[in-house]
Structure 1
Amino acid sequence: MDQMRLAFNGVVKSVRYSRFPLQPTENGESHLEVKLSEDGAEEFTDVEAEGSPSFRPAPQNYSRHSIAFLLLGTLLIFIVGYLVGYISHSKPKVESLNCSPVTQAPVAPVTQAPVAPVTQTPVAPVTQTPVAPVTQAPVAQPAEVEMDFKNISQLLARKMTREAFQKTLRDFDKPGRSAGNDEDMSLANSIFDEFKKLEMDPWTDIHYVQLPIPDSQNPNKVQFGSEDFSLTGYLAYSATGRVQGKLVYGNYGRKEDLDIVNKNKVELKDCVLLVRAGKISFAEQVANAEGRGASAVLIYPDEADYNYVADTVLYGHVHLGSGDPYTPGFPSFNHTQFPPTQSSGLPKIPAQTLTRSVAVKLLQKIGGPEPDETSGFKGGFKQVSYRLGGIENITLEVNNKLVNKEIHNVFGAIKGFDDPDRYIVLGAQRDAWGSGYARATVGTSVLVQLAKAFHEMVENDGFKPRRSLVFASWSAGEYGSVGATEWLEGYMASIDKKVFTYISLDGVVMGEGGFMASASPLLYSLLETTMKEVNSPVGAGTVYKMAGTTKWEANVMRPMTIDDPAYPFLAFSGIPSVSFHFIKPNSEVYTYYGTQLDTVDQLNYETNNQTNEITAIAAQFAGQMALHLVHDHLLSLDVNRYSKTLTKAVGGVYKHIRLLSQDLSPSWLNRARGSFQRAAMNLYNDIANTNLDDKEACRILNNRIMTVEHSLLSPYVSPVKVPFRHLLFGRGSHTLASIAETTDVDELHTQLALATWNLQGCANAMVGNIWDLDEEI
């Protein structure tokens, strides 16, 4: 061995300067040229070299024995190294018996492979490689966690109990809760804390708005003849000032009522119009009077419509719109200074409410002609004849003042598992003029109890909603959905792409024995389904049976009016919306809204002391609709239900144009309606031919459905000047209802063209592929 080592070292030392031996040339210098042969071996060629020979080593001579020892030594070293490595790796390691199969499993196949036949029998991790799929079981088997809808529905119903609401209703019943005051803020904090306990990641949306209030130092007044009346109630957003004019009685202040006044030759211009509350909103009454040239409006509750005591005070607002009217079209964030502008819905004339006792005194002295018996002008006061007036002067003084208020909207969310960026909103206002029990307490209680129920179902019962639920508590609802509208304005650019339904919880309980609702046609089918699934709060059967199974739409559905809390969502933002109410049969209003009589005792009287039970049913009804919307693969929005509404509206335009002008044809509008119906039919054909277990396919279909409502907002009007842009349910010259009344032919021509393309654009939005667009128009 020593001899081989010496031979090897001698060779290494002899070649440390050059890998290749150099042969001397004739002049004593050597040069080596290296070439690559075709087979990849190296070839060497001696050529003459230049340069100093001092850097070249002296030639060495090697014996055959040295070369042999070198080769044998190299081979021996290789063999010894291999044996050492083999023995070291073949020794069993204690670490390999570690009981962590997840971490050892990937290592075992690499290091143990060479000795598997000898050493693997005691090694547990090798046999544990199938353990990995066990940890993946919940992901690989989603069907195990998807609950049947019937079971979910029953689970929700069990949580909506009378006992649950008995405590919640008591907790949220406050004597005063005016928007922005201490009680309102305290309630907002309570709801925020409740959402926080439910781990709903609550947040607050803050706005700074201008709200009118009476001036306690300078009250509103009415002077008629020798009598002066100081008035307690008021109408928010009324113009201020002192006006005088002839007192004229105008029934409910509807357009047809004012036509009757004109037919009796009573002058409306510059008059002070006295009307009774009901049929239409305060804002519409004032707008109609202003349109006829009246200088002021007085509104009172007639005995035929309201069972009040003589001195019951009325509160309300007269803004023909929603939101803060001093920042129309944009949100009131952080005292941001926008250009000085006002909503087009603000009245320019003063308006004021009266008590019954004051109204009787005015009507007894009004004078003037008596209306025809068939006119419906006669009210419930037996001591007055309801003459039309126009004889005696009256003076009204309104001194309301504007105050800046900070209002808080409070939100909590339960996120969906498949499409968390798609969500429904359930909302309720929490402010009121007084106690506001039916107006605010009930809705807020339903909101919180539903949030608790859905949270428990997700956390404890295995329910996994596909889409998200957002629970919203609004402030300043009494002033015209101010809090809700400011939120919509603040996120106008994106909110319609995410919110696919709004469910209003305001006024869900007004009495017992009856049921009514207002909604986008997209939600009619869902309403019908829910009515058949939820038990009636009175007697046996379902809500559907209680409402009357024949012609249920005629019995239940009502047009959504401007004072409906869901209206801004539908007509301003293009979000399918619904509001519903359990109410006394043959009644459509809760007459105690806007008064100090909206109390727990009054609502218990209206519900025959069944308020808690009916509230639980109302909560179940709202929750059942929400379940369908967040659980079903396909959105529960029925596009085909718009066909009847569109056909009726287009028919009205057809009839009007045929009577007005022979040179103008509405046929293009009818073709656009046909395009809408064909697009809806094609959408349903695509649904029928789609595997609804395919999440991505369902999302594409749902996106097409979600475009419908928003596409019916007119893109040709400004949300600042015309906030309610909906083609069918909005307000303004762009709507089909307005077109059916327009007498200016040039204006009619323009609006007809814009409405036609608005409707065609909605049809195009429903189409899945651009190459499938309907070209018939």
Structure 2
Amino acid sequence: MDTARSTISNLFRGEPSTYTRFSLAEHMEGDSSQVEMKLSNSETESEVGNSMGDPRDPRIMKPKHSPKNICFMIVCTLLIFLIGFLLGYLSYRGRMQTKGQSCSNADSVPCGTAEELPSKDDSDTTLEATRPFLEWKQLKELLKDKFLVSSFESRFSDFSVSREAGSEGDQSLALTVYNEFKRFGLHSVWNDEHYVKLQSLGSTPNRVTLLASGTTEIIESPKGYLAYSAAGQATGKLVYANYGREEDFKMLKSMNIGVNGSVVIVRGGKICFAAKVANAQKVKAAAVLIYLDPADYANMPVDTDVFGHVHLGTGDPYTPGFPSFNHTQFPPAQSSGLPSIPAQTITTNSARRLLSKMTGQLAPSEWKGTLSPPYNLGNDDNVQVEVEVNNVVAEKMIHNVFGVIKGLTDPDHYVVIGAQRDSWGPGVAKSAVGTSLLVEMAKALSDLVVKDGYKPRRSIVFASWSAGDFGSVGATEWLEGYLSVLHLKAFAYINLDAAVLGSQTFKASASPMLYTLLGNTLKEVDSPLDSSKTLYQNVGGDSWEKQTIVPMTMDDASYAFQAFSGIPSVSFSFTNDGDTYPYFGTKEDNLSNLNARTGNRIDDIARAAANVAGQMVLRLTHDHQLSLDFDRYNGELYSFVFKINRFAKQLKKAGLTVKWLSSARGDFDRATETLKNNILNSDLNNAGICRAINERIMMVEYHFLSPYASPKDTPFRHIFYGSGPHTLMSLLENLNLVNNKTTNLDMDVLRNQLALATWTIQGAANALSGDIWDIDNEF
């Protein structure tokens, strides 16, 4: 510019009278930049006092407008433009040559490292300038080719080392993941430290003792344990309660089998360990023993030690609602999901010995497993069991490791891909598979950017979590730390844990907003066992949802994102028909057993899983409009209101109505239609318009979190997927009590539930509608 200015000065024999000054100010959050342009005149600024001088000043000349002068001005203007163009071109060409030479000659820094990833150009106002060079068909084929050269099985083997959360093995693997992210040239790599309270075996062993016919027999001193069990001793009559579900305890009550003060023995499966213990505590059991029955866990060695946790929640239960950063001091509190009774796992052999001692009524036929005892229900005063739990709680430091590929148009909007890293045993299916997929996906997607020229519109965050075996502790602490901003930035979470459990079929749990994206992805990915078919054809074609979608439960690693933070989430796995993976929480979760379940096709299944997750990520970062189907919640709301309407007459007698709830659902329906029309009539190439539309879509899931529940006291606030009295399921359960005349139903509670559900749905409709002056709200 100095050269250009000098040239112009020489041409006109004077200094230029004006200049343009640019001020680049980075946004406070670092997410974007703003360009401020100020125009000023040097003479005007320095001589403002004389600018309105005496009009008779001889220096002020009346301009001449002769044809000769006009032609001279036109020629000068064209000459200035031509000189500026030539100087700009030569400057640009020189920069490009210098960059090419430095990239080809650099020995220490490879071409396209994180430092060279392009950043957002804030002077541009349309998406057209950052349009990906790669078309969708080419992009997905490139991704598929990159996974073909990946050796997932070798990764599984490398990552299946001993790595209990907070241990040296966990820290070592965290460093490995960190270094891999750095090696791939991700734009930024970092880690978060958390100081969390984890429970493990103490110096005094846990013990299960049989007290029968005046004799004492130590059944087992287990090596396995259940984290967050209450410590202490409990003694009581032994009662068999099948899987420990609510309906199982109701069945015992109908058979006049008392559970109050007893030690309940239940088999694993159907529901998580924490739910079994919580259900037993509700009926005032003294303690819980959990074993693996061969009927549910075929081929499991009978002396297998079992590990797990019994916190009915996620995160550090001793800092509920608070992030465990930097030894921050919190008020004394603990999660309401912590049990107050001892709970312990026992081996199958020990369970056989206990069941053989039990008398009383014969269990229902559907309660019987395949152990040799007859499965009596017990409740015999002469057969009692003492359970002693001596687990200790200790504060441990854990690390979450992150890497990011920054988007070019909206870098502050991102999809998060995560996987658990820790495990009590080899944990191949539980965590080694997910960690391997995470690392290989980071490598493939960074290659697409660095080597193939892909320009994602939005950012991609890769996250390796610790303390997943203790109830998604690492992930939940991160969510708690950034709860106030994540719903404005993270628009989807893809969970990679347990993605490979078999080979025969495909199952997924997800937000309804991700159903359409998942279905379209299944159409693009080949079946790993038959490349002539797509996964979509393999799972039933048009009926894929019915065959594939299963409910999202609390032990799902994506549950905290969905129900706690209001971020649309998805988990998926390749598994076997009519079967659940039996080896979680045991040392049998090894590469040999997983290979057997996949028919020694583990690499093929892993590549298919990587393609499913990878193509969802690409679609979420490639398209102008976010691939989140906000219209799907209309069906969920319609189904709920339909169920509510069955109680309209009973509610009317109680002075209540479903009119306003139906109206809120209607407003949500109208809001979705309005947004769809806005999208059809909008120019999505305009960055501002497209961003505004996407931000409206991003708010839908978040606004299904009840604003009337505390994230500290009731963390899972989602009215569809959460847990507590604010949920639509709880409202339906109370409505079912309306017809039960023997039950004292508090109508004020029901009235509040109806009102709060109505206003939560109305809030979601308003958020989807856009600016408040555009809302056509007749509510």
Bin of the TM-score, shorter chain as denominator length: 0.7 to 0.9
SS at match of 1:497: helix
Distance in 2, Cα, partners of 1:130 & 1:733: 68
Give the C-alpha shift of residue 776 in structure 1. Answer: 2.6
Gaps spanning 5+ residues in structure 1: where? 1-101
Give the C-alpha shift of residue 198 in structure 1. Answer: 2.5
Q: Do 2:651 and 2:657's aligned partners in 1 also have CA atoms closer than 8 Å?
A: no
Give the C-alpha shift of residue 328 in structure 1. Answer: 0.1
**Counterpart for residue 378 of structure 2:** 389
**Counterpart for residue 771 of structure 2:** 769
Q: Do 1:653 and 1:736's aligned partners in 2 also have CA atoms closer than 8 Å?
A: no
Q: Do 1:233 and 1:353's aligned partners in 2 also have CA atoms closer than 8 Å?
A: yes
Q: Do 2:509 and 2:570's aligned partners in 1 also have CA atoms closer than 8 Å?
A: yes
SS at match of 2:415: strand
SS at match of 1:668: helix
Distance in 2, Cα, partners of 1:205 & 1:656: 50
1:748 aligned residue (747, 750, 756): 750
Q: Do 2:130 and 2:455's aligned partners in 1 also have CA atoms closer than 8 Å?
A: no
Give the C-alpha shift of residue 103 in structure 1. Answer: 5.8
CA displacement, residues 435-458 of structure 1 (integer Å, 9 cap, x when unaligned): 101111111111111111111111
Distance change in 2, residues 1:162/1:306 (3 Å): farther
Query: Which range moves more in the overlay, 650-659 or 403-412?
Result: 650-659
Gaps spanning 5+ residues in structure 2: where? 15-70, 97-120, 735-744
Distance in 1, Cα, partners of 2:374 & 2:651: 40
1:131 aligned residue (72, 82, 86): 86
SS at match of 1:575: coil
- For residues 396-545 of structure 1, the aligned pairs below 5 Å read 396-539=387-530, 540-545=532-537
Distance in 2, Cα, partners of 1:160 & 1:311: 39
**Counterpart for residue 558 of structure 2:** 566
Distance in 2, Cα, partners of 1:606 & 1:595: 16
Give the C-alpha shift of residue 105 in structure 1. Answer: 4.3
Distance change in 2, residues 1:145/1:729 (3 Å): closer
Q: Do 1:764 and 1:774's aligned partners in 2 also have CA atoms closer than 8 Å?
A: no
2:639 aligned residue (648, 663, 667): 648
Give the C-alpha shift of residue 651 in structure 1. Answer: 2.8
1:328 aligned residue (312, 316, 320): 320
- For residues 155-194 of structure 1, the aligned pairs below 5 Å read 155-161=142-148, 163-174=150-161, 176-194=162-180
Q: Do 2:201 and 2:392's aligned partners in 1 also have CA atoms closer than 8 Å?
A: yes
Give the C-alpha shift of residue 152 in structure 1. Answer: 1.0
Give the C-alpha shift of residue 109 in structure 1. Answer: 4.0
SS at match of 2:682: coil
Aligned AA for 2:144?
Answer: A
**Counterpart for residue 111 of structure 1:** 10
Q: Which structure has the higher relative contact order (CA within 8 Å, separation 6+)?
A: 2
**Counterpart for residue 228 of structure 1:** 218
**Counterpart for residue 208 of structure 1:** 195
Distance change in 2, residues 1:632/1:104 (3 Å): same
**Counterpart for residue 339 of structure 1:** 331
Distance change in 2, residues 1:144/1:491 (3 Å): closer
Q: Which structure has the larger Rg over C-alpha atoms? A: 1
Q: Do 1:516 and 1:557's aligned partners in 2 also have CA atoms closer than 8 Å?
A: yes
Distance in 1, Cα, partners of 2:195 & 2:165: 11
Aligned AA for 2:471?
Answer: G
CA displacement, residues 164-187 of structure 1 (integer Å, 9 cap, x when unaligned): 32443333231x110000000000
Give the C-alpha shift of residue 513 in structure 1. Answer: 1.5
Aligned AA for 2:86?
Answer: V
Distance in 1, Cα, partners of 2:238 & 2:281: 15
Distance in 2, Cα, partners of 1:448 & 1:265: 55
Aligned AA for 1:292?
Answer: V
State whether structure 2 residue 369 is matched by structure 1 residue 379: yes
Aligned AA for 1:757?
Answer: W
Distance change in 2, residues 1:104/1:339 (3 Å): closer
**Counterpart for residue 762 of structure 2:** 760
Give the C-alpha shift of residue 142 in structure 1. Answer: 3.2
Distance in 2, Cα, partners of 1:561 & 1:251: 20
Distance in 1, Cα, partners of 2:595 & 2:541: 28
Distance change in 2, residues 1:340/1:421 (3 Å): same
Distance in 2, Cα, partners of 1:349 & 1:749: 34
**Counterpart for residue 286 of structure 2:** 295
Distance in 2, Cα, partners of 1:183 & 1:564: 24
**Counterpart for residue 629 of structure 1:** 620
Distance in 1, Cα, partners of 2:768 & 2:412: 20
CA displacement, residues 365-417 of structure 1 (integer Å, 9 cap, x when unaligned): 211112343xx211122x12212111122111111111111000000111000
Give the C-alpha shift of residue 728 in structure 1. Answer: 0.7
Aligned AA for 2:555?
Answer: D
CA displacement, residues 64-114 of structure 1 (integer Å, 9 cap, x when unaligned): xxxxxxxxxxxxxxxxxxxxxxxxxxxxxxxxxxxxxx7644443442368
Give the C-alpha shift of residue 265 in structure 1. Answer: 0.6
Give the C-alpha shift of residue 649 in structure 1. Answer: 2.3
1:316 aligned residue (282, 288, 308): 308
Distance in 2, Cα, partners of 1:126 & 1:526: 50
Q: How many equivalent residue pairs?
A: 666
Aligned AA for 1:329?
Answer: G
SS at match of 2:404: strand
Q: Do 1:518 and 1:558's aligned partners in 2 also have CA atoms closer than 8 Å?
A: yes
Aligned AA for 1:468?
Answer: S
Distance in 1, Cα, partners of 2:682 & 2:453: 28
**Counterpart for residue 64 of structure 1:** none
Query: Which range moves more in the overlay, 562-571 or 263-272?
Result: 263-272
**Counterpart for residue 715 of structure 1:** 707
SS at match of 2:497: coil
Distance in 2, Cα, partners of 1:182 & 1:457: 34
SS at match of 1:561: coil
Distance in 1, Cα, partners of 2:457 & 2:148: 26
Q: Do 1:162 and 1:613's aligned partners in 2 also have CA atoms closer than 8 Å?
A: no
- After superposing on structure 2, the runs of 4+ consecutive aligned residues of structure 1 that deviate more than 6 Å are 114-117, 124-127, 135-141
Q: Do 1:250 and 1:274's aligned partners in 2 also have CA atoms closer than 8 Å?
A: yes
SS at match of 1:702: helix
Distance in 1, Cα, partners of 2:462 & 2:81: 52
CA displacement, residues 237-295 of structure 1 (integer Å, 9 cap, x when unaligned): 01111111111111111111111111111001111111111111111111111111111
Distance in 2, Cα, partners of 1:497 & 1:399: 44
State whether structure 2 residue 140 is matched by structure 1 residue 153: yes
Distance in 2, Cα, partners of 1:288 & 1:132: 78
Distance change in 2, residues 1:378/1:517 (3 Å): same
Q: Do 2:132 and 2:622's aligned partners in 1 also have CA atoms closer than 8 Å?
A: no
State whether structure 2 residue 598 is matched by structure 1 residue 598: no
**Counterpart for residue 250 of structure 1:** 241
Distance change in 2, residues 1:242/1:199 (3 Å): same
Give the structure-2-normalised TM-score.
0.82
Distance in 1, Cα, partners of 2:252 & 2:425: 36
Give the C-alpha shift of residue 224 in structure 1. Answer: 4.1
CA displacement, residues 715-760 of structure 1 (integer Å, 9 cap, x when unaligned): 1111111110001100000000001112432211111111110110
Taking every aligned residue pair, what percent have the same amino acid on both sides? 48
Q: CA RMSD in A?
A: 2.2
Aligned AA for 1:378?
Answer: K
Distance in 1, Cα, partners of 2:92 & 2:511: 43
Distance change in 2, residues 1:236/1:543 (3 Å): same
**Counterpart for residue 361 of structure 1:** 353
Aligned AA for 2:435?
Answer: T
Aligned AA for 2:713?
Answer: K
